[in-house]
Amino acid sequence: MDILKISIVIAIIGIIALFFITQYNKENIVKVEDLKIGQVERITGMVTSVYVSKNDHVFLKVADNTGEVTVVAFKNSNIDTAYELENGDQVSVLGRTDEYKGELEIIAKEIRKI
């Protein structure tokens, strides 16, 4: 009987822990028009332009139904997915928003093709 009680308590603790972990890891998808400088945000959208610089940095334009933003994947960020993207691909991008030459951009931490 003691083993049953211990098992139930451990199971309940595990379920509660999983609940809090999943709540902590939820990332809201933000519309391009709602991006704010200095925030880590996730957007989804369609790749409308791909450019690879001489230094092998990848510059994407990603658009949703509210606007378009430049996404930068620097060579040293190890985001290999960026080199495989083409116009028309649907992507999910996680990164820090910044301003460059008066324009909003996202410095990518993760890019996933969806």
**Beta-bridge mates of residue 107:** 72, 96
Q: Is it the case that residue 8 has pLDDT exceeding 60?
A: yes
Q: Report helix, strand or coil for 37.
A: coil
Token digits of residue 82: 């960026």
* H or E element, residue 96: strand 90-100
Q: The pTM is what?
A: 0.76
Summarize pLDDT for 46-68 with one digit per residue, the tens: 999 999 999 999 999 999 999 99
pLDDT bracket for residue 27 (50, 70, 90): low
Rounded Cα gap, residues 43 and 96, in angstroms = 11
CATH of domain 32-113: 2.40.50.140
Q: Are 63 and 32 in contact (CB under 8 A)?
A: yes
